[in-house]
């Protein structure tokens, strides 16, 4: 489909999702939310895509929800019992469920939903002039996109309380030291750094392994005991004798050559993954 508020492209096994309202500093709209969710779904289902890069056009990633002209779906939204899902959650729910790694390349302002939508990404690379903000308390509103679940897992409860309760802006260096971002770059270099990392993932990692690892970390780390992780790990390791990817990974290491993994996410994910059973 054609998109109005984002751009979506695929090249060299990397899907790029770009927020594309630079004239509005990529202010977030309901249209943008639904387009991002659709593009993420397409990228997840496309075996030609191994990695997703999320970025924004212009000098800012996203300055938050665009409330101009009552363009945002809040005041007249239906209650949740009628099935309404707030727009930012439409994006982060899809990001959470994705079976492929996501690299966010951020420059300038990433405020409100501009910060919360980044939390389910696997890697967040930022420009040295970037700034983040969970500014909801200063607007008399509430955090969205499941950010109260994601943020403490990334930076700890103390830091999450500081940032969310105060609603203050967070400079790039503080975001780096807290673990919110992986690395800092010059503004014009951050996207290139994201593509360099994406190419490394494409060339060196197995799609099925990445999909299982990504979801295992999210699903298992939230449990009160490691027993379910112990059980799942035993099931997974027991299958390695029949895994062409495992054999290829070992042989590539021994022969000092790049691996060529044949298994695909659509066809070869283990059927016994507990989250697959719950979602079926």
> What are 37-62's pLDDT values in tens digits?
999 999 999 999 999 999 999 999 99
Q: What residues form DSSP beta bridges with 185?
A: 127
Residue 83 confidence (pLDDT)? 81
- In contact, 16 and 55? CB cutoff 8 Å: yes
Residue 75 confidence (pLDDT)? 47
Six-digit token string for 71: 């363009």
- In contact, 100 and 50? CB cutoff 8 Å: yes
pLDDT digits (tens, 9 = 90+) for 163-181: 999 999 999 999 999 999 9
Domains of the chain are: 6-202 (3.90.226.10), 206-279 (1.10.12)
List of residues 6+ apart from 153 with CB closer than 8 A? 221, 222
Three-class SS state of 191: helix
pTM, two decimals, is 0.93
Residue 74 confidence (pLDDT)? 56
- In contact, 12 and 199? CB cutoff 8 Å: yes
Six-digit token string for 142: 């509430």
Residue 276 confidence (pLDDT)? 84
What residues of the chain score a pLDDT lower than 70? 1, 69-81, 277-280
């Amino acid at each position: 489909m054609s998109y109005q508020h984002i751009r979506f492209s695929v090249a060299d096994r990397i899907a790029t999702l770009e927020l594309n309202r630079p004239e509005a500093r990529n202010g977030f709209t309901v249209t943008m939310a639904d387009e991002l969710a659709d593009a993420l779904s397409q990228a997840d289902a496309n075996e030609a895509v191994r990695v997703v890069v999320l970025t924004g056009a212009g000098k800012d990633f996203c300055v938050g929800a665009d409330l101009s002209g009552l363009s945002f779906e809040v005041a007249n939204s239906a209650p949740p019992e009628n099935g309404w899902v707030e727009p930012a959650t439409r994006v982060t729910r899809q990001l959470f469920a994705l079976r492929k790694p996501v690299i966010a390349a951020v420059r300038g302002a990433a405020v409100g939903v501009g910060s919360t939508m980044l939390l389910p990404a696997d890697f967040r690379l930022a420009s040295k002039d970037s700034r983040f903000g969970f500014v909801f308390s200063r607007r008399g509103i509430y955090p969205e996109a499941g950010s109260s679940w994601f943020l403490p897992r990334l930076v700890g409860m103390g830091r999450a309380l500081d940032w969310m309760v105060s609603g203050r802006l967070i400079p790039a260096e503080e975001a780096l030291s807290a673990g919110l971002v992986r690395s800092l770059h010059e503004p014009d270099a951050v996207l290139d750094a994201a593509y360099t990392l994406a190419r490394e993932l494409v060339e060196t990692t197995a799609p099925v392994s990445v999909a299982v690892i990504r979801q295992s970390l999210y699903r298992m780390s939230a449990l009160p005991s490691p027993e379910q992780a112990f059980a799942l790990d035993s099931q997974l390791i027991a299958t390695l004798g029949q895994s062409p990817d495992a054999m290829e990974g070992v042989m590539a290491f021994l022969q000092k050559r790049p691996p060529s993994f044949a298994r695909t996410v659509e066809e070869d994910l283990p059927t016994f993954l507990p989250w697959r059973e719950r979602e079926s």
